[in-house]
Structure 1
Amino acid sequence: MPSSQPPLAAPRELIDDIDNRILDLLQQRNRVVGDVIATKIRQSLPIFDAAREADKIVRFRAQAVERGLDAEWAEDFLRMIMGSSRDRQSHGDFPRAGSQPREVLLVGGAGGMGSLYRRFLERSGHRVRVLDRDDWPRVAQLAAGIDLAIVAVPIDVTAEVICRLAPHLPADAVLADFTSNKNGLLELMRQVHPGPVLSLHPLHGPDAPNLAKQLMLACPGRDPQRSQWLLEQCRLWGMRIKIVEADQHDRAMHLIQGLRHFTTFLHGSFLRQCNLHPEDILDYSSPVYRMELMMTARMFAQDPQLYADIVLANAERRSLLLEFLEHHRALARIIEDNDREAFITEFRDISAFFADFAERARRESGYLIYRLSERFA
């Protein structure tokens, strides 16, 4: 007598059982991760161990191949698990740099970046005070006896705030900032404060779920050994630290931030002028354009004053953007003249400029595009 059970019921039930066991194992893994975190806190070890993770990935890929599984898929799976572990760590305590907690003043500590770093500093055992716009009558009291002051305010008022704060700082306190312009600002901090100076630029936003693998650029200003504990604290949070000169930093930021954000601004503005609503074009978009559209729209979900300060930061950056527009006007002649050969020649010249990086970019962006289409198609 034929079974009344659908032909796929039994294998699907088995798959569901396997999936449930995977979840049970992940739950067990989380408990072990909790023990690892506790040990790292007691022994002041970094949250993110790059060497351990790299070794783990190599071994996991090989073990996957031995079982007839795809190594790329296995690496993705492991990275998601490890990323989840790091996110989980961000909700608990962190190792502390040094045996004693530091007294920290966060100027702008109620803002996005200030609030984020306040949480990480406090969970590392440091004592944090906040100076916001209504707290200036108490600035002397808040600054008394501190080891570190971090200025995390909008770029357009950073210099003014530093000048207002500096007379109240202890001479041996570290004065630091969180802005994306370094040259004039670093010199200003050295002028108004006789003690240690360190200019920082966290390359992430206030919505970062954790600081592991995030990049912190650091421009030493004075007495770098006195601020070494702060960089060590960043390493304990799992951050990558890159020491750079102010000139080198600002030249890079003209392209990485100024030009990139301006081209995004142009793209969004032209879509608005053409009345091309995202909802109307998503259904016709390739995964590549969907990703580009998302990155454009992402910027316009944020603070326009922040991006105005970044794009219009200084005369040198504005000059670069005007040069960029002039270059585009020259390229526009290719379109005006319908010059196919000129387009191909320019394309080949650009390809030669990017050289081997173009293939790397195609491979890495292909990975992102595939994951995006898998998740949101």
Structure 2
Amino acid sequence: MQTMPAHAAHHDDREIETLEEFDATVSARGTLAGHRVQAVDLTDRTRELLGTDTTGAVFLGCAMREEAAAKVRAEGALVFPPVPDLPFDPYRGLVYSPDELFTSLADGYEATPDARAYAWFQRTKADGDIYASMLRAVHDDSVSDALDELLTGARVVGVMGGHAMARGTEEYAGAARLGRELARAGFTVATGGGPGAMEAANLGAYAAPFGDEMLTESLELLAKAPHFTPSITQWASAAFEIRARWPQGGRSVGIPTWFYGHEPPNAFASHIAKYFANATREDGLLARSTAGVVFLPGAAGTVQEIFDNATPNYYESRGEPTPMVLVDRTHWTERLPAWPLLRSLARERSMEARIALVERIEEAPEALKRLGG
């Protein structure tokens, strides 16, 4: 069954990312000297801050009373206060959850934090404001840090594929079965976090702990809202209905971007690492897929991902090449002939033994295993 390490089990023990960690550190160590406290609301911890050594500490986006802020600054701590009127927290210590990004969905998608962050991005990305670009960079670095902590020790398989794959199709059902089989084999499924093939793979991982009938019923329910256009609200609400009916599903990761903000994140990835910078997101997704990548039929974005992944495998810049499995012979040899080029690139290189082309989605898990995933 799919596993994923608990958050914070492996992060730097100087990092404090929750109020529980703050209380435990103060109680056990009696000092905050040299610690990094990240996006923790310390408004009700004035007594602890006043009575604890904070020399050399850094407080990133931590709300605190002015009395406490003055004291820790006087001890040489750095205090980066929360940024007012932002629809996101640039200093966040954890990746997102679907519930967090889709808060207020009942009032329409436009009311959600996800939509409001995209609207802010649209307003600020073209005006050349260094402050806004700095906030985006800090946010994305915080998300990367949280994602690394989350995935420490996990066997991550990336599943890449197009956003246009509609619910209710056999292709979507196949991608969901792939996600389920990978999760049941002990892999952590990671996708681009959006609709289509990405959602299907995350759905499959979510379905992994349940009987097979759960996935069958879920696919039927989702088919009533086949695409995120024209209504993201309706599309996302259908997913949350399934989450409510079958709570405590399997865990997986989605790594979407506000750069393609017209594509909402899907609600089946239990952990969502959402970025403003698409280049950071693309490279991060592939680099973290340490047990291999499965490429389902897609268009320009998926072709780009194939060769983004092939390049470090070709040069072995990340160490030993990781497995690459392309699914659907006709698609990758005739419609978009990426496979002949990939095979030519790999010839007489160590990555040659780590690539495979299979006809059916059901063959992908076995191919991954054969290639050493």
Q: Normalization by structure 2: what TM-score? A: 0.27
Hey, which of these two has a bigger chunk of helix by percent?
1
Larger radius of gyration: 1
1 or 2 for the larger relative contact order (CA 8 Å, sep ≥6)? 2
TM-score by length of 1: 0.27
